[in-house]
């Protein structure tokens, strides 16, 4: 890995990316608080240095922002990162549904910006959807593509449209599954069994929604402007967010 990688965030995607990148070079992960940093250290097992000051990323050559899928939060952090990083550092975001051009503008360096959409679990999922703002330089494109390939990923460049390719096609299907439950009274296990055994999917659609996080699913659905089932919104409002909260369509130990 030719870049010294920084990761801004300490959630599932951020830690997965840090573990993977730590196998290929030096990695620094920024966490917003000391509590978050301690949790991240427990997940990383030494794969990356963990800091709580953005200045700790100042020695990196490429930084990937990997915080909550909220435009305001991402834009605020990208602006702060621009001030903390060297002028020649590349900035990227793991957004799965937000406007790349808008985030690039907030970064203050649209010529050195990219969307690098990795999938969970990061260490196992091969695909990276790459998207660039119009101002991105040829050098930026080369560096970001090279970084992804150094991590063993298959890169597909996609247009700056909400949801890119995977989520734009996937989430209408997932939400249709929920509407089928509402219409028929089927149990989640029945639908997921049909799709895993009958369609050869590695995970049923309702288990996948729980895995992604139902709050994340709502955010993506709003970004791609597809109808979100009432049941999904109700689960989120009741705190049933999926695996990460221990309850969603399923109960988790």
Catalytic site positions: 96, 117, 129, 167
Pairing verdict, β 154-157 and 27-30: unpaired
Sheet of 49-51: strands edge to edge? 49-51, 27-30, 5-8, 62-65, 90-93, 113-118, 127-131, 154-157
Cα distances (angstroms) measured from residue 219 to each of 117, 120, 164, 214, 233:
15, 17, 14, 9, 11
Euclidean distance between CA atoms 60 and 45, whole angstroms: 21
- Residue 71 burial (10 A CB sphere; 0-12, 13-18, 19+): middle
Q: Are 219 and 236 in contact (CB under 8 A)?
A: no
- Which tokens in the block code for residue 221? 């659905």
């Amino acid at each position: 890995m030719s870049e010294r990688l920084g990761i801004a965030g300490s959630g599932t995607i951020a830690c997965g990316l840090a573990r993977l990148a730590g196998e290929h070079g030096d990695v620094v992960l920024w966490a917003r608080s000391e509590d978050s940093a301690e949790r991240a250290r427990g997940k990383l097992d030494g794969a990356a240095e963990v800091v709580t000051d953005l200045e700790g990323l100042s020695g990196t050559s490429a930084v990937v922002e990997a915080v909550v899928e909220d435009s305001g939060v991402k834009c605020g952090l990208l602006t702060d990162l621009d001030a903390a990083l060297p002028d020649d550092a590349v900035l990227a975001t793991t957004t799965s549904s937000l406007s790349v051009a808008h985030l690039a503008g907030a970064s203050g360096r649209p010529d050195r910006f990219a969307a690098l959409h990795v999938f969970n679990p990061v260490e196992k999922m091969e695909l990276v959807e790459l998207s660039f703002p119009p101002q991105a330089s040829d050098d930026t494109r080369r560096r970001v593509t090279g970084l992804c390939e150094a991590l063993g990923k298959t890169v597909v460049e996609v247009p700056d449209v909400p949801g890119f390719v995977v989520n734009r096609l996937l989430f209408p299907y997932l939400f249709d599954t929920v509407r089928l439950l509402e219409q028929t009274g089927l149990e989640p296990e029945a639908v997921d069994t049909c799709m895993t055994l009958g369609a050869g999917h590695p995970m049923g659609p309702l288990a996948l929604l729980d895995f992604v996080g139902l709050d994340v699913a709502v955010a993506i659905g709003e970004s791609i402007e597809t109808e979100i089932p009432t049941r999904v919104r109700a689960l989120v409002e009741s705190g049933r967010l999926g695996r990460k909260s221990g309850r969603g369509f399923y109960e988790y130990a």
